[in-house]
Structure 1
Amino acid sequence: MTTPPDFACPCGSGHLLSACCGPFHAGQDAEPAPTAEALMRSRYSAYVLDRLDYLRATWHPGTRPAVLEPNEPGLRWLGLTVRHHKVLDADHAEVSFVARSKLGGRAHRLEEVSRFVREDGRWFYVDGDIGAPIGGSVSGRP
């Protein structure tokens, strides 16, 4: 088996995937993301790379959908901007971000405040508010 080529991490950190989000995607025994922001960035990268197994593994079981669909053909993720990472307490945090994509020649923006919880040393995505400032109340997905 050959090693896949390394490239810039989709999360926008400026690092190579292998030195950024890639190690978090490495399966059950992978090092967990150390912060909610790192988890959110690695989940964005997983969306870009269609790593549905990682998305399921990092979605809290209480809110995880039964089925996750791969990206629509032709969808291009264009970038991620993290606006704010707010630590609420040792096991709860919020991350505000904007993710940009393009499909069928049309540009799209997803603005969300995502909520995260840490259980047994691992961060999980719980849910989010689309288009709301931190503390908003419109339900959505990262």
Structure 2
Amino acid sequence: MKAGDPCPCGSGQTYGRCCAPLHEGAVPFSAEALMRSRYCAYVLKLENYLLATWHPDTRPSELDLAADGSKWLGLEVKKHLQSDDTHATVEFVARYRIAGKGHRLHETSRFVREDGRWYYRDGDWS
């Protein structure tokens, strides 16, 4: 993906101004920014970024995004709620396709901030 391409997270910004800096090590300013960058990382199959931004208490030992055959099609953020300085939730709907069949993931994700960094903790799906 090129810096001038539209960012897959749906922010309306270019990838170079939106998620690319986070993928390159910048600290997300909010849980929503982290969630958008994680969605973008799924689109781009950036397993190391996903693992690094997953809270150690719930992080899987590995990911194999190449094997799942998914193609991510779009993201809609429904709600972002920061309950205090270290806890937030983001509700979103992500659309994707596997083997030609469309799917929809509706999740409310929980995030925690430790040492100034947001981490994805877990989520509830519907």
Corresponding letter in the other structure for 1:5:
K
2:43 equivalent to 1:70: no
TM-score of the aligned structures, taking structure 1 as reference length: 0.84
Query: What is the percent sequence identity of the aligned residues?
Result: 54
Q: Which residue of 2 aligns with 1:57?
A: 52
Structure 1 stretches lacking a partner, 5+ long: 132-142
Larger deviation, residues 52-61 vs 6-15:
6-15
The count of residues paired between Structure 1 and Structure 2 equals 125
Corresponding letter in the other structure for 2:16:
S
Larger Rg: 1
Equivalent pair of 1:47/1:71 in contact (CA under 8 Å): no
Correspondence for 2:12 among 11, 14, 37: 14
Query: What is the root-mean-square deviation in Å for CA atoms of aligned residues?
Result: 1.2
Q: Which residue of 2 aligns with 1:139?
A: none
Correspondence for 1:45 among 40, 43, 50: 40
Structure 2 stretches lacking a partner, 5+ long: none
Q: Which residue of 1 aligns with 2:27?
A: 32
Task: Determine the C-alpha separation between the residues in 2 that align with 1:73 and 1:127.
Answer: 20
Displacement of 1:70: 1.4
